[in-house]
């Protein structure tokens, strides 16, 4: 399925503990045909049971992938994700920023690795179905992709098995205005929290289309600065433009997260 554009989005909401708040955003993302949503307790709020919340989201959605962050490869987290995979009908994944314990990752569900330093990069090369990279230009993303591909080959994997997505914070507060200098065509702006795009949905669609066409990435994992505002503009603006141009799906051909990827 190489060549398809893949899009995921974070639905973290600070201080939101009611599952209903996450159901609303997951449904919106599903309406746009996105591959998956992620939920990371580190951003949503301390003590949030990400897998538990998404297990409550599962029956309120039907196609979109549900990917909670986990902190270990052993213990209750993978078990909870396995339960999520069951209740969602094969739509679960797990997002990890590294490993806290030795041992293999679960064979299922889909494994997403946030590649930010050497240890997660090695983990991604061995196990990831999806690798999230932080890049400030298409050339930078292509360089990171090449490094990951080389490492995956060292472990005997076909690098084409790994979907490489650029992790990008997005601030669409300016509506239809063009991207601010240093945020759009020249690549997103580097910040302490990661690459940031600030501008309008249409220019964001162009950035996504260009990076994907150049083969730098397979898609993007988007992190809205203002979840409710920005996700609505992503779906009704950015994604709609990509769909109109024939670059992104208008329906889900399959029912599981692996089929989306």
Residue 16: its pLDDT value, please?
A: 82
Residue 66 contacts residue 258 (beta carbons within 8 Å): no
Separation CA 189–CA 128 (nearest Å)? 27
**Domain layout of the chain by residue ranges:** 6-260
24 Cβ partners below 8 Å, 6+ apart?
none
Give the pLDDT confidence score for residue 76 in this predicted structure.
Answer: 44
What mean pLDDT comes out for the span 22-39?
A: 98
In the chain, where do the E strands start and end?
A: 6-10, 36-39, 65-70, 93-96, 110-114, 130-133, 163-171, 196-198, 219-224
What pLDDT score does 177 carry? Answer: 59
Give percent of the chain above pLDDT 90.
70
pLDDT at residue 2 in the model = 45
The pLDDT assigned to 10 comes to 97
Residue 91 · residue 66 · CB < 8 Å: yes
Rounded to a whole number of angstroms, the distance between the first and last alpha carbons of the chain is: 7
| 43 within 8 A of 10, measured Cβ to Cβ | yes
CATH class assigned to 6-260: alpha beta
Per-residue pLDDT tens over the stretch 86-106: 999 999 999 988 654 344 555
Bridge partners for 49 per DSSP: none
pTM (predicted TM-score)? 0.91
In the chain, what are the helix, strand and coil shares in percent, each to the nearest 5? 40, 20, 40
pLDDT at 72 over 80: no
Q: Which of 108-112, 160-164, 180-184 has the highest mean pLDDT?
A: 160-164
- Asked whether the predicted pLDDT for residue 209 surpasses 80, the reply is yes
pLDDT, tens only, 216-244: 999 999 999 999 999 999 999 999 999 99
């Amino acid at each position: 399925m190489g060549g398809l554009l893949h899009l995921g989005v974070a639905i973290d909401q600070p201080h939101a503990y009611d599952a209903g708040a996450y159901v609303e955003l997951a449904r919106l993302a599903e309406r746009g045909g996105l591959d998956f949503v992620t939920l990371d307790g580190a951003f949503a709020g301390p003590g949030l049971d990400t897998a538990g919340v998404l297990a409550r989201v599962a029956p309120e959605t039907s196609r979109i992938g549900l990917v909670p962050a986990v902190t270990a490869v052993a213990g209750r987290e993978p078990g909870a994700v396995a339960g999520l995979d069951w209740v969602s009908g094969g739509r679960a994944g797990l997002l990890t920023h590294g490993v806290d314990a030795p041992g293999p990752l679960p064979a299922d569900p889909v494994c997403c690795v946030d590649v930010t330093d050497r240890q997660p990069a090695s983990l991604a090369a061995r196990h990831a179905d999806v690798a999230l990279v932080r890049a400030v230009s298409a050339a930078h993303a292509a360089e990171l992709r090449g490094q990951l591909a080389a490492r995956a080959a060292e472990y005997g994997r076909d690098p084409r098995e790994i979907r490489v997505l650029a992790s990008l914070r997005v601030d669409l507060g300016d509506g239809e205005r063009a991207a601010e200098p240093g945020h759009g065509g020249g690549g997103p702006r580097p910040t302490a929290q990661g690459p940031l795009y600030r501008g309008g949905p249409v220019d964001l669609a162009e950035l996504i289309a260009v990076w994907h066409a150049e083969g730098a990435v397979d898609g993007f994992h988007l992190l809205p600065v203002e979840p409710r505002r920005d996700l609505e503009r992503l779906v009704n603006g950015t994604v709609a433009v990509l769909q109109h141009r024939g670059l992104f799906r208008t329906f889900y051909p399959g029912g599981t997260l692996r089929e989306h990827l």
